[in-house]
Chains A and B, each alone.
Chain A
Amino acid sequence: MAAIAGRGPTDSTLRVVIRDFRLWVLFATAALTIVDVYLIFVVAPTDQVLGHIQRIFYIHVPISILSFLGFLVCAVAGVGYLIRRGEIWDRVAHAAAEVGVVFVTLALVTGVIWARPVWGVWWTWEPRLTTTLILWLIYVAYLMIRHYAPTPQQGRAWSAVVGIIGFVDVPIVYYSVQWWRSIHPVQVIGPEAADDALEPIMARILIFSLVAMLALFAYLLLERVALRGTEDAVSVIRRQGTYD
């Protein structure tokens, strides 16, 4: 109770600022998304070989990249938690892992929907798809460890270790199309992408889609961190009700 009674005006002001910032991010996400849909369906040229199905590219690639970002944030926050044992590090790591799992799930789903008309199959055990599925399994395991660990402290520490080690799979996913024989297209963005991998108009729309998705990612991450904070506040009061 002392922790709650001790909250000063600075803390409540900070919470209002964060809540307002979250709303602004939500409005920005909505506006960017509307423009993005217009760019993807009207402005973007139709691919000569694939036809209209290629437009999935403008959400499939940003979603995949942002799942990597989620797992990077999770790994960095996990290191922060193991060093500092601060509650905020754990909240950010947990939120980033959960949002990352949502994004990587959608990367797999949009990829599967794209694969059916292009490859003729929903799924094939080729390197990019397989390593991405392994990435999904690693971070689902991360969330399960948090939930089923004997104590919350053990759950936080164990999941931080899994989040750090699991991130090793991210560069493996990125480079898988070069390291092994793959039917997945090669990189169009990042250090291994060729300069002329995309037509300029397609590259510009891809970057805009990435910015729109980044705003959505930021909103979901902020919302999840806020939810974790509320969950923690309730569990503190429940514990005090039990032991006082």
Chain B
Amino acid sequence: TVPPNNLPFLFAAFAVAWAVFFIYAAYMSWRRQSIQRDLRELQSTVELDE
């Protein structure tokens, strides 16, 4: 049996879980776009340039 006033723990658990998932997904998306920019630059460098 637990005391009934445990709502802060409940909301904290949900907030932490969804915040971590959101940050992880956003980081992956941002990093992939950033790397794709690098990739395009590298490809153009190799093509433009004994």
Contact = CB atoms under 8 A, between A and B. Distances in A.
Q: Is B truly associated with A? A: yes
B17 A237 contact: no
Interface in A101-129: 102, 105-106, 109-110, 113-114, 116-118
Interface string B1-27: 111101101101110110011001100
Contacts of A51: 2, 4, 6
Nearest to A227: B32
> Interface on chain A toward B: helix, strand, loop, or mixed SS?
helix
B46 A237 contact: yes
Contacts of B24: 102, 220
Contacts of B21: 102, 106, 216, 220
A117 B28 contact: no
Contacts of B2: 49-51, 53, 117-118
Interface string B23-50: 0110011011001101100110110000
Contacts of B35: 227, 230-231, 234
Interface of B: 1-4, 6-7, 9-10, 12-14, 16-17, 20-21, 24-25, 28-29, 31-32, 35-36, 38-39, 42-43, 45-46
